Amino acid sequence: MQQLHEFVERHPRLFVLSGAGISTESGIPCYRDREGQRTGRAPILLKDFLGSDYARRRYWARSLIGWPVVQNARPNAAHHALRALAARSRVHRLVTQNVDGLHTRAGNPDVIELHGNIERVRCMECGERHTRAAVQRMLKAARR
């Protein structure tokens, strides 16, 4: 922690790249273990999602179950610490690989979300945009 503090004090314009590890304290499971090996199921690839009705059904079935974890997650101390650094103009650029939106929910301005944000859904047929919460209601209604 002391080394990190000194590093931050020495470098006034930080480029921050965050990944899944920052959100585990918020209860969002990491896809990799400490050695970097993937744990759990393989994610559905975009080309499969776009090209296969079966893959899309599988994705949404899994997402129906998994979404509440992301929806109920709250930013943790690391997200808030980066927000505090940004407020002091110490973060030149904040880029995340995460789709959970927790940097934004912590109040971080101008987050670049490399893989998008799971909160926003666009219909592949008509292009209409929906919140993920609205899609969850549609999924639950379709399940009955």
The residue ranges that bind Zn ion (CB under 5 A) are 123, 125-126, 128
Per DSSP bridges, beta strands 120-122 and 129-131 are antiparallel
Told to judge if 103 belongs to the known catalytic residues of this protein, a careful annotator would answer no
Using a 10 angstrom Cβ sphere, with 0-12 exposed, 13-18 middle and 19 or more buried, the burial of residue 44 is middle
**DSSP character at residue 30:** P
Residue placing its CB nearer to Zn ion in the complex, 74 or 122: 122
Q: Residue of minimal CB distance from Zn ion?
A: 123
Catalytic residue among 5, 11, 115, 130: 115
Minimum separation from the CB atom of position 122 to Zn ion (A): 9
Q: How far is the CB of 140 from Zn ion (least distance, A)?
A: 18
Sign, Cα dihedral of 36, 24, 96, 82: negative
Q: How far is the CB of 66 from Zn ion (least distance, A)?
A: 23
Nearer Cβ to Zn ion (63/76): 63
Q: How many residues does this entry show for the chain? A: 144
Known catalytic residues are 115
